[in-house]
A and B are shown apart, each in its own frame.
Chain A
Amino acid sequence: MLSRTAACLYWLGRYIERADFTARLVEATVRLDALSAQPAGEVAWMSALLVTDADAAFMATGDTLTPQNVSRFLTLSADHPGSIIHCLDRARDNARSVRTALTREAWSAINRAWLIFHGRASPGGTQATLNLVDQTKAEVRSFEGAVHRMMRNQASGFIRLGQALERADNTARLLDVKYHILLPEGEYVGGTMDRDQWTTILQTVSAVTAYRWLYSEGLTPSRVTELLVLRRELPLSIAGAAEEVVEMLSALGKRTGLQGEADRMARARLGKLGATKVSDVIGGGLHEFLEDFIVENAELNGAIARQFKFV
């Protein structure tokens, strides 16, 4: 396989995952905004911006912080690299340059997702926004289905590796911002606002039901943290994503004969997560833990690029 093709597939996976994450984030924020006892309004939408590292970029647009403006920014902004349309643009660009490595089904799914957004100026009202989000998620699922039906060769391996690595990053960012910044003055840990926020996090990663299955007791920050950081059963948890990275790397290693630094780093990371307890995470500071993880994830990204000669 051409090095460029491998790199495009990997980034295709990362951008698709990021588009999916941003779609979920918008959905969750709409919910949080609507369900809070006191309208969360600005706080909810500000948090959505912080999660995607987009607060400064949004401020730079000069728009006021309203649900409409932020959701337009996160879905349709041509300038914001994390917006859904931008991610889908990049995903489609990468897919176009490796059309031959994709099946028609996989390509069509990406193209359909892109066509949903292409040429739209505004996400519309809340209902329309949720509709957009639903369509995006459906097309991403359809893409994943198509990838699973592709030949079990390097191509699907690189896509899924990119997706898993991106997912690990996204979940870490989500947790990090919620944990530190969200509670406004006057709200207390365990209060209504706090619970809403944790529920929202679970919702963003489709884990509300999983939580109920795994924990009989009510919602607590430490259990949510455990679920999203350490429980491998959950595909969107950090450990779940880290495990998938290891699996994909070893599958690629088997097919290409290429194993090395990236495999070692990914296995070491997964081993460390396995030996970690949630009390260690919270005791040492969740924020510090997540920040370290995000940096480590980026280093792993670099090792992958070297191992497969992306550049």
Chain B
Amino acid sequence: MARPKAFDEIWGSGAGREARPGFAPISRWMDETPSAELQRRQQAAEAAFRQLGITFAVYGEEDAAERIIPFDIVPRMFTRSEWSKLSAGLVQRVQALNAFLDDVYGERRILAEGIIPPELILCNPQFRPEAAGAKPPHGIYSHICGIDLVRTGPGDFWVLEDNARTPSGVSYMLENREAMIRLCPELFRMFRVAAVDSYPDRLLATMRSVAPRGMAADPVCVILTPGRFNSAYYEHSFLADNLGIELVEAADLVVDDDIVWMRTITGRVKVDVIYRRIDDDFLDPLVFRPDSMLGVPGLMAAYRAGNVTLVNAPGTGIADDKAIYSYMPEIVRFYSGGEALLPNVETFRCREPQVLKYVLDNLAELVVKLVDGSGGYGMLVGPTASKAEIEAFRAALIAEPHRYIAQPTLALSTVPTLTESGVAPRHVDFRPFVLTGANGVDIVPGGLTRVALKEGSLVVNSSQGGGTKDSFVLLDEGAPD
């Protein structure tokens, strides 16, 4: 179906392919580099990714362990002023998220003051009563946040969702940049691009800053992975490698007298900070899922005793729940005292009867999401869905309205992307990675740009045929024509 032309981040909103101010050189680069040459470079990048084993798994696919995410050779760009505006909004939002977590697992002022209905927190499966009152060091719960942003116009950025649990994708930010530097060095001569390679150092500094108080001067940090069959295993090993710390599985850890140890060839070594890439449910079978074979028995007791820091803390899922998301403007206002710099996408809470009626009447125009869904599963994109899909969602909504939210379909911005018929606009989103440590919030100038490779598609998830791009943050307002 025809929609008005979306804003393109390089070519702007006009009908032609006139570059926006500062972006003329890349526009020319796309025109002048033959498509075949761009294809060749893109294939070289993908071949390198495959050889390095930068793969991910798609749940429900037989031979899925070995797919790579398609990589697009045309970068996406932010000017310095765009980035500083974004950064300010991200800092504010992530500070509010951590303040909110500290509050709901502590005093619960936000509930007492009636900002959020208490049952929405206390009866939410993402709320972990086991984490209440544990007070992690410096009151930080979500040390690593991935905030998914979309854009609809030159100055119009929106937060699509917050990822406060264990956001993934940062390895693509780093590997994509490596590939771009190797394959398109001329772009880095055209533009002054902020480096992203300090991310591992910054992450390690963040982890060390939140080590339990009074522990060794040189805290032992590790990354906890579910193992090599996990879809994000490459990233876990990549990070451990780049941080220079051990990549442990649950079986490598043992808790004794509320102290966490790892088993090494020379005996036990005490562990102070764990960047865990496993879900809350599988952290500790004594507390969460007794049937789980994963997990470290006693880990939660060690955490509550303050002997180990978990990055991110257990229970952060309550902050990125899609039902809570709709309250983020109020949450930001409550903790920061100001209006949110980065707006939310308007969100309809289907649990409210009159809202549900509106949603059901306008399904063909809306995006409907499961509150606890992710990865593009359990999602209806009204304008591109078939009648049958819409009717299936209608039935599901009527049966369990509280499990869904709806949002207007946004005209997501596009970025020129290499396709079979040359370079053409494709829709994108953006996930910057926001670190919070004892010294405040730290954002590496870059992030993960995901691109929907199918023409007109708005679904960027890698499990649904999305690809990635490098994201340039410029040190100035672009390059002269």
Contacts and interface: CB of A to CB of B under 8 A. Distances in A.
B241 A100 contact: yes
Contacts of A97: 227-228, 249
Interface stretch (A60-68, A76-84, A106-114, A210-218): A106-114
B51 interface: yes
Interface of B: 50-53, 66, 227-228, 233-234, 237-238, 240-241, 246-249, 251-252, 262-267
A112 B51 contact: yes
Interface in A247-291: 256-258
Nearest to B269: A2
Contact of A107 (B53, B233, B240, B251): B53
A111 B265 contact: no
Contacts of B228: 93, 96-97
A107 B55 CA distance: 14
A2 B52 contact: no
Interface residues of A, number: 24
Contact of A108 (B51, B66, B252): B51
Nearest to B238: A99
A4 interface: yes
Nearest to B248: A2
Interface centre among B237, B240, B246, B248 (most CB of A within 10 A): B237
B265 A154 contact: yes
Q: Please list the 5 inter-chain residue pairs (A to B) with the smallest Cβ-Cβ separation, ordered nearest first.
A: A99-B237, A96-B228, A100-B240, A100-B241, A308-B265
A258 to B, nearest CB: 6
Residue from B66, B228, B249, B262 having most chain A Cβ neighbours under 10 A: B228
Contacts of A1: 264-266
Nearest to A7: B265
A2 B266 contact: no
Contacts of B237: 96, 99-100
Given A2-B252, A3-B252, A100 B51 contact: no
A256 B266 contact: yes
A4 B222 CA distance: 14
A309 interface: yes
Contact of A4 (B53, B241, B252): B252
Contacts of A93: 228
B260 to A, nearest CB: 14
Interface string A91-119: 00100110110001001100110010010
A4 B240 contact: no
B50 to A, nearest CB: 8
Interface in A143-182: 154
Contacts of A108: 51-52
Contacts of A96: 53, 228, 233, 237
Given A2-B252, A99-B247, A100-B246, A309 B51 contact: no
17 contacts: A1-B264, A2-B263, A3-B264, A4-B251, A4-B263, A96-B233, A97-B227, A99-B53, A100-B237, A100-B240, A100-B247, A107-B53, A108-B51, A115-B51, A118-B66, A258-B266, A309-B267
Contacts of B251: 4
Contact of B263 (A3, A99, A100): A3
Contacts of B249: 4, 97
A183 to B, nearest CB: 45
A136 B237 CA distance: 26
B252 to A, nearest CB: 5
Contacts of A112: 51
Given A99-B241, A100-B246, A108-B51, 6 more contacts: A2-B246, A2-B263, A4-B252, A96-B53, A111-B51, A112-B51
A6 interface: yes
Nearest to A252: B265
Interface centre among A2, A112, A118, A154 (most CB of B within 10 A): A2
Contacts of A104: 52
Nearest to B266: A256
Contacts of B267: 309
A108 B47 CA distance: 12
Contacts of B262: 2
B244 to A, nearest CB: 9
Contacts of A308: 265
A309 B52 contact: no
B180 to A, nearest CB: 18
A56 B324 CA distance: 62
Contacts of A111: 51-53
A104 to B, nearest CB: 7
A1 B240 CA distance: 13
B108 to A, nearest CB: 40
Contacts of B53: 96, 99, 107, 111
Given A97-B227, A99-B241, A100-B240, A257 B51 contact: no
Nearest to A158: B265
A100 B247 CA distance: 7
Q: Specify which of A99, A112, A115 lies most central, judged by the most chain B CB atoms within 10 Å of its CB.
A: A99
A4 B262 CA distance: 10
Contacts of B252: 2-4
Contacts of B265: 1-3, 6, 154, 256, 258, 308-309
